Amino acid sequence: MRCLLIDDDIPTVEALLRILNWNDYGIEETMSATNIQEAKRLFEANRPDIIICDIEMPRGSGLDMIKWVRERGYDGGFIFFTCHESFEFASTAISYKADAYLVKPIDKLKLEAALHSAVEALKQSRILDQYSKYGLTWIKNKEWMERNFWRDVLMEAISPRQDIILNEIYKRELSLTVDGPYVLFLAGVPRSQVEGRWDSSIFLYALSNLGSEVLFEQVNHDRVIPYQTESTFYNAMIMERTCGEEPLKEIGERLIGLCRQYLNCTLTCYIGEPVAISDLSRTRAQLEQLDASNIIFRGRVHLQGSPFLYDRTDSYALDMDGFALLFVQKEKVQIVNKLKKELERLAEQNKLDPATLHSIREDFLQVVYALLLRNHIQAHRLFADEAIVRLAQQAESSVFDFMKWAQAITDKTIDSVREALKSEGVVEKAKRFIHENYKQELSREDVAAHVYLTADYVAKAFKSETGLAIKEYLNECRINAAKQLLLESKASISEIALETGFDSLSYFSTVFKKMTGETPNAYRNKHKSIP
């Protein structure tokens, strides 16, 4: 199939070409035009199957284009998008059999739903043309029409306005009441539980059939709509309100059990409040948001009006010093087990809400980044591979995903530090030892003992590579630390001298002035006033 994009805004056209995977819709060729005149020339040269067109353009509107092509017998798909939602535009577009009317900025999910609907409608129209030649019935078309109607409603490919919905029901010859009430039953499975074991399309097909059999007692029911987001596989099922909440919860629990038994994954169900058709897309968005905030209540049935109740009486802080020590000791297993026990304890106490999980992630990363900084390893390069990025994106959706991310981060960090230390020379090891112990009383013999060499050899190698004696380098580390304390703390000069490893105030002042040209007091008074 062939698609023609029409918009005077070139970046919009480029964005549409980039964000959609056209081959998924059977579209093998795309053309673009920036005005109606150019679009007409392309149309006459290579008639497209689908047209995606802006309404408001300076040299002729999209409404002019749809009138022109319909007058020439064009029966292909036509999708409008515009900056302003207008009843006049919408009603005119409907009168010329437009497939969808979307408002900018374009929502990728809505655009995909509209394009899917237009392509399927075009395929069905061509099939029906063949059917009519042989006098076949329209029953299959009716089922297809209703399924695509519900998909378009849920994804807002049809505007959630009652007049437009009524028009679509009439146009598609469906026997539906606008006011309902209808109940949206949303079942979701995190992608992380499926990827690597199932093909996405096969899993969605299996999930759809399972839901169709449990809720409607038939396969491939036209009110079962499978779809996927970046993090979750969903099955949306639309039911007419014929029973209370308890029977619906029993159905959900049965579906969860069957999903665990046959698909080997954890399904979570959400039951919306009874609404009219025009409110179904809003209900879908709210149930998806409820699912996104669900950290510890998965594998259950939840009602839209019953938010998750977490115990927020006590704030939680990660034991960062404990984790920092385990990272220095390179204890991979102990790090992961300690984190796992912390999360399990919080979950048991009903304290693991999204905000707490986020703070744990930030504190854990702070420990990791501090270790990488000490080892001169760049975090943005270390964690740039696709697998780590994908795990990071899913880390806060569940405890399971969080632990997968934490395991990967821990392994990557400790392995990288080990490699860095392997390639570290004698002088680098000596410098590291000085940086980590400058607050203590150190001699060149202490430094040499750390690298298992004689003091004379280490002193000579150190001087040759750095240009400084070990004592001079030690004093430089101490003075740099003292300068920071003078500016950032209210401690006295004598307290800072002791804190940075000097055994007397007079020696500290002498070394400080020699290296900076100023006394400690003068340095503090001069530089602390500078913002």
CATH number at residue 232: 3.30.70
* Domain presence at residue 272: yes
pLDDT range class, residue 132, cuts 50, 70, 90 = low
Calculate ∠ Cα 99-21-35, nearest 5°. Answer: 55
Last residue of a domain, one of 384, 404, 422: 422
Render pLDDT for 185-195 as a digit per residue (tens, 0 to 9).
Answer: 999 999 888 88
The answer to the question of residue 308 being in a domain is no
Say what percent of the chain tops pLDDT 70: 94
Residues 338 and 271 occupy one common structural domain = no
Give the H/E segment covering residue 255.
helix 245-258
Claim to verify: residue 21 and residue 110 sit in the same structural domain = yes
Question: 79 phi and psi, to 5 degrees?
Answer: -115, 130
**256 and 202 within one domain:** yes
Residue 500 lies in a domain: yes
Give the model's confidence band at 43: pLDDT under 50 very low, under 70 low, under 90 confident, else very high. Answer: very high
Does 270 lie in the same domain as 329? no
Q: Is the pLDDT of residue 477 over 90?
A: yes
- Whether residue 303 is predicted with pLDDT greater than 80 in this model: the reply is yes
Give the end of a domain, one of 171, 195, 221. 171
Per-residue pLDDT at 439 exceeds 70: yes
Distance CA 276, CA 481 (A): 67
Q: Assess whether pLDDT exceeds 70 at residue 136.
A: no
- Mean of the pLDDT values across residues 203-216? 90
Q: Is 457 helix (H, G, I), strand (E, B) or coil?
A: helix
* CATH number of the domain to which 60 belongs: 3.40.50.2300
Report the CATH number that the domain containing residue 452 is assigned in CATH: 1.10.10.60
The verdict on 69 and 118 lying in the same domain is yes
Phi–psi pair at 97, nearest 5 degrees: 60, 45
Within a domain: 313: no
Tell me the average pLDDT of the chain: 86
Indicate if 470 and 334 belong to the same structural domain. no
Identify the domain boundary among 398, 422, 446: 422
Q: What is the mean pLDDT of residues 411-439?
A: 85
314 lies in a domain?
A: no
Strand, helix or coil for residue 383: coil
Residue 367 CB-half CA count within 13 A: 24
Q: For position 88, what pLDDT does the model report?
A: 63
Task: Verify that 332 and 417 share a domain, yes or no.
Answer: yes
Mind listing the pLDDT tens digit for each residue in 340-371?
999 988 888 888 888 899 999 999 999 999 99
Query: Do 161 and 32 sit in the same domain of this protein?
Result: yes
- CA angle at 301 for the pair 287 and 205, rounded to the nearest 5°: 70
Residue 4 exposed, middle or buried by CB count within 10 Å (0-12, 13-18, 19+): buried
Length of the chain: 531
Phi, psi at residue 442, to the nearest 5°? -125, 145
pLDDT over 90 at 139, yes or no? no
What does each C-alpha distance from 138 to 119, 144, 165 come to in angstroms? 19, 10, 22
Domain assignment present for residue 315? The answer is no
How far apart, in Å, are the Cα atoms of 213 and each of 188, 196, 227?
A: 17, 26, 18
Is the residue at 17 inside a domain? yes
Average pLDDT of 105-112?
Answer: 82
- Comparing C-alpha atoms, which of 57, 77, 61 is closest to residue 12? 57
In a domain, 468, yes or no: yes
Residues 6+ apart with CB under 8 A from 437: 446
Tokens 């986020």 appear where? 358
Confidence label for 140 from pLDDT (cuts 50, 70 and 90): low
Report pTM.
0.55
pLDDT value, residue 130: 61
Same domain, yes or no: 154 and 192: no
Task: Provide DSSP, 118-153.
Answer: HHHHHHHHHHHHHHHHHT--SHHHHHHHHHHHHHHH
- Kindly calculate the radius of gyration of the chain based on its CA atoms and give it in whole angstroms: 33
Three-class HEC string of 307-347: CCCCCCCCCCCCCHHHHHHHHHCCCHHHHHHHHHHHHHHHH
370 and 386 share a domain?
yes
Rounded CA separation 47/69 (Å): 10
Whether 138 and 129 have beta carbons less than 8 Å apart is answered as no
> If pLDDT is split at 50, 70 and 90, which confidence band does 301 have?
very high
Whether 446 and 403 share a structural domain: no
Reported as a pLDDT band with limits 50, 70 and 90, residue 137 is very low
**Domain residue limits at 495:** 426-527
Residues 440 and 515 in one domain: yes
Beta strand pairing call for 2-6 and 50-54 = parallel
What is the total count of domains within the chain?
4
Rounded CA gap, 229 and 243, in Å?
30
